[in-house]
């Protein structure tokens, strides 16, 4: 199901370096970490730091999605929800966001206004304020129009930051939603394809259910939203970071019929298609039921279910509907570039 791995040695940047796969990891491991040093025992969506007694988390992401608008959202809602979710994944309550805009000469102001208004609505829905920003303008180029970088700061409200190294053998893996809607929605918009029913991006903030899990004191071990690289990508990354094996039940994975059809048509594996409002949570077996009970009370996580577990060993295996198993190989890049 995976293409042979392309060469991993490049002298120049390729689109796949931005895909969240092994090539993105090679940039991290060969350029960024040797210079900046590791922010934490394992790289994570958000980094923890302390100011005095206050434990904080910080995360930053640039958004370069094409096209800017897609069914279910636009680059602005994506930027806000993505940053909010990254803070939540570290066990932090989002407290402040910043937004920096790189605008292409010629961008209609009306487009900018719509995106900014959407950001404000998304921030309000997620219970966070955008309190600082910047604007730069670049020369007219290929019509991309607009890049947004959002940074979020929150206070860690779990007893310890959620992190891959806290994953333990026996942990159950809960998936909060169905797979691949964001990637397929963006791709369909880009290619001018229409599906019946149309596929909407799952772009949403997970604040309400996650903050309730934190407040209820449910001891989550790790949480990760399945963005670039999809669920398959993040599971490969987490299994490697935790030095454990992850086993998932492929037949149990929720995939909307339209997403499944689009993937079959286009040769995509839904396990590696990006989501923007769906996370994998790692909890001890005893905590599964209370976790699911809370998640199912919120529309955004109403479909939550157990999709697999953690065991001794290494790597990620998927039990197929036929009863066989396949080993998931980390993607070298995103199947769909410029997805976020």
Q: How far apart are CA 39 and CA 46, in angstroms?
A: 9
Orientation of helix 109-126 relative to helix 75-89, angle to 10°: 30
Q: Which of 127, 219, 290, 337 binds a copy of itself (CB under 8 A)?
A: 337
Give 5's contacts (C-beta < 8 A, 6+ positions apart).
22, 329, 332
Given candidates 4, 108, 197, 323, which one binds a copy of itself under the rule CB under 8 A?
108
Question: In the stretch 10-49, what mask flags binding to a copy of itself with x, by CB under 8 A?
Answer: xxxxxxxxxx----x--xx--xx--xxx-x------xx-x
Closer to a copy of itself by CB, 102 or 240: give it: 102
Is 192 near a copy of itself (CB under 8 A)? no
Is 98 a binding residue for a copy of itself by CB under 8 A? The answer is: yes
Question: Smaller CB distance to a copy of itself: residue 28 or 240?
Answer: 28
Cα 326 to chain center, whole Å?
23
In the complex, what is the shortest distance from the CB of residue 246 to a copy of itself, in angstroms, rounded to a whole number? 24
Nearer of residues 104 and 260 to a copy of itself, judged by Cβ: 104
182 or 316: CB nearest a copy of itself: 182
User: Within 13 Å, how many C-alpha atoms sit on residue 69's CB side?
Assistant: 6
- Does 155 sit near a copy of itself (CB under 8 A)? yes
CB nearer to a copy of itself: pick between 227 and 291: 227
Q: Residues 27-66, buried b or exposed e (16+ Cβ, 10 A)?
A: eeeeeeeeeeeeeeebbbbbbbeeeeeebbbbbebebbbb
Which listed residue (42, 71, 144, 260) binds a copy of itself by CB under 8 A? 144
**Contact with a copy of itself (CB under 8 A): which of 3, 6, 113, 297?**
113
Q: Residue 126 and residue 28: Cα distance in Å, rounded?
A: 30
Task: Of 338, 315, 158, give the one whose Cα is nearest residue 235.
Answer: 315
The CA distances from residue 259 to 6, 76, 189, 198, 201, in Å, are 27, 23, 14, 9, 11
Q: Find the binding residues for a copy of itself in span 46-65 (CB under 8 A).
A: 46-47, 49, 51-52, 54, 56, 58-64
Q: Which of 101, 214, 268, 272 binds a copy of itself (CB under 8 A)?
A: 101
Number of residues counted as binding a copy of itself (CB under 8 A): 77
Minimum CB separation from a copy of itself for residue 261, in Å?
28
Nearer residue to a copy of itself within complex by CB, 120 or 303: 120
CA-to-CA dists, residue 26 to 13, 72, 262, 293, angstroms: 11, 32, 30, 39
Considering only residues 119 to 138 of the shown chain, the ones binding a copy of itself according to CB under 8 A are 119-120, 123, 129-138
- 155 forms beta bridges with 56, 93
CB neighbourhood size of 21 (10 A)? 25
């Amino acid at each position: 199901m995976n293409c042979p791995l392309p060469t991993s040695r490049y002298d120049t940047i390729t689109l796949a370096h931005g895909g969240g796969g092994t090539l993105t990891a090679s940039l991290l491991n060969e350029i960024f970490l040797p210079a900046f040093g590791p922010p934490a025992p394992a790289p994570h969506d958000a980094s923890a730091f302390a100011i005095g007694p206050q434990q904080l988390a910080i995360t930053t992401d640039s958004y370069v999605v094409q096209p800017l608008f897609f069914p279910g959202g636009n680059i602005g809602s994506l930027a806000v929800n993505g940053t909010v979710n990254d803070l939540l994944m570290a066990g932090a309550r989002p407290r402040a966001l910043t937004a920096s805009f790189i605008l292409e000469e010629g961008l209609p102001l009306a487009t900018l206004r719509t995106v900014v208004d959407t950001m404000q609505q998304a921030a309000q829905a997620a219970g966070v304020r955008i309190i600082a920003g910047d604007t730069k303008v670049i020369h007219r180029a290929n019509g991309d129009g607009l890049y947004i970088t959002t940074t979020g700061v929150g206070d860690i409200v779990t007893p310890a930051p959620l992190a891959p190294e806290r994953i333990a053998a026996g942990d159950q893996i809960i998936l909060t939603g169905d797979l691949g809607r964001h990637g397929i929605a963006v791709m369909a918009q880009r290619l001018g394809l229409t599906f019946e029913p149309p596929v909407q991006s799952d772009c949403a903030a997970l604040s309400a259910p996650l903050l309730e899990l934190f407040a209820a004191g449910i001891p989550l071990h790790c949480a990760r939203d399945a963005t670039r690289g999809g669920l398959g990508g993040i599971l490969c990354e987490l299994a490697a970071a935790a030095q454990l094996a992850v086993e998932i039940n492929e037949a149990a994975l929720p995939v909307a019929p339209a997403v499944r059809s689009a993937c079959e048509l286009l040769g995509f594996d839904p396990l590696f298609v990006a989501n923007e409002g769906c996370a994998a949570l790692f909890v001890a077996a005893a905590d599964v039921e209370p976790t699911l009970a809370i998640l199912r009370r919120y529309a955004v996580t109403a479909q939550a279910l157990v999709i697999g577990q953690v065991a001794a060993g290494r790597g990620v295996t998927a039990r197929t509907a036929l009863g066989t198993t396949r080993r998931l190989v980390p993607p070298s890049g995103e199947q769909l570039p410029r997805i976020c």
